Structure formats: C-alpha cells, structure tokens
C-alpha cells in the first residue's frame, strides 16, 4: 500500500489541513458550543434582568485581554505551521511551545476573573446568568487546557500533519472564545 497525496484522498476533504479525525472532533465541539450559545441567548431573552445584572459584574477588560491572548497565540501557532511547511521543524517546535505558553496566560487571567467573581459572592448557584457563565467559560477553559496539551504534543513531533492538526484544534478554541466573549460579556 502506497501513501496517498492529500489531494487524492477519497473522503472528499482534500482541502483540509491536518488529520480528518480532528476535523470531525472540531465539528462536534462547534455543535456543542453552538447549542450552548443558543441556550444562553434563549435564557437571556426569557429573563433579561439577571443577565444584565450579571454582565455588569463581569470585567469586560479581562475578557478583551483574553481575546487578544488567544488571537496572538493562534497567530503564533499559524507561524509554527508555516515553519513546518518550510522544513524548519526546530522553529515550528519553538513556535508551538510559544503558542502554548501564551495560551496559558488565558488561564491565568481567567483564574483572576473567577477569583474576583467568587470573591464578590457570585457563584454557579447565584442565578441563571452565573450558572451559564461558569459552565460556558469553564468548559471553554477546559478546551484551552486540552489545546495547550495538543500544542505541546505536536511540538514534540512536529510533522506538517501534526502541526496542522494541532493548530486546527487551537484555532477552534480561539473561534469559540471570539464568539463567547461578546455573547457573555458585551451583548445586552
């Protein structure tokens, strides 16, 4: 059995970078988050007062900082893929590790935000807004942790396919936050 070129794949996904199974996982994760976002929007429409009050307690600046952190980390990961495609695995490795390190800043900022929120006496049990806030942002933070692990793994084995696969997952994590941030922090 010879190996097939990416363009010769029979699965109809010849243009997707990385491993097809990652794309299946990404589609599943986007569906789960999409359903959660719809649920959040419906809950807000049904009971807007606690959502407005809850949003007033959040620090939109920390959310904006985290947006920049993830976008920057995603850019670094993309540069890692580019280095791998140019045959520079050592540079690709460094860039993926840098993307993971920058991504870990997201978790530190989120920990500061959670500490302030919990310190104000607001928890998952406070009301519907904070239940959904902690569930959505906590589930996303779990994906950040998984994404950091994926970036570290592909840094260890920086084949082009691995780099593309890891970056695809990381960009999904970015995309979810870029939707989650305005939905939870900004949209009234």
What does pTM read for this prediction? 0.89
Instruction: Quick: pLDDT tens for 92-131.
Output: 999 999 999 999 999 999 999 999 999 999 999 999 999 9
pLDDT band at 2 (very low <50, low <70, confident <90, very high): very low
Instruction: Quick: pLDDT tens for 136-183.
Output: 999 999 999 999 999 999 999 999 999 999 999 999 999 999 999 999
Q: DSSP label at 14?
A: T
Q: Is 124 helix (H, G, I), strand (E, B) or coil?
A: coil
Per-residue pLDDT at 187: 86
Both tokens assigned to 70: 């993830």
pLDDT band at 188 (very low <50, low <70, confident <90, very high): confident
Per-residue pLDDT at 5: 44
Distance CA 70, CA 65 (A): 9
Which are the contacts of 80, defined by CB distance < 8 A and separation ≥ 6?
A: 91, 92, 93, 94, 95, 96, 98, 99, 155, 158, 163, 167
Domain definitions of the chain by residue range: 18-186
Instruction: Quick: pLDDT tens for 54-103.
Output: 999 999 999 999 999 999 999 999 999 999 999 999 999 999 999 999 99
Q: CATH for 18-186? A: 1.20.120.80
Instruction: Quick: pLDDT tens for 7-56.
Output: 444 444 557 888 888 999 999 999 999 999 999 999 999 999 999 999 99
Nearest partner of 44 among 138, 125, 123, 127, judged by Cα: 127
Nearest 5°: CA angle at 26, between 138 and 88?
A: 105
Per-residue pLDDT at 14: 58
């Amino acid at each position: 059995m010879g190996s097939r070129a990416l363009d010769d794949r029979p699965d109809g996904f010849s243009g997707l970078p990385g491993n097809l199974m990652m794309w299946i996982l990404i589609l599943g994760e986007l569906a789960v988050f999409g359903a959660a976002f719809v649920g959040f929007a419906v809950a807000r429409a049904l009971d807007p007062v606690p959502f407005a009050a809850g949003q007033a307690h959040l620090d939109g600046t920390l959310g904006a900082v985290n947006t920049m952190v993830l976008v920057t980390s995603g850019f670094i990961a993309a540069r890692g893929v580019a280095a791998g495609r140019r045959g520079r695995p050592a540079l690709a490795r460094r860039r993926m590790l840098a993307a993971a390190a920058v991504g870990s800043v997201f978790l530190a900022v989120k920990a500061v935000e959670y500490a302030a929120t919990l310190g104000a006496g607001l928890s998952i049990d406070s009301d519907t807004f904070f239940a959904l806030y902690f569930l959505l942002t906590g589930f996303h933070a779990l994906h950040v942790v998984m994404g950091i692990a994926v970036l570290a793994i592909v840094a260890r084995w920086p084949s082009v396919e691995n780099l593309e696969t890891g970056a695809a997952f990381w960009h999904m994590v970015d995309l979810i936050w870029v939707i989650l941030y305005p939905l939870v922090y900004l949209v009234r």
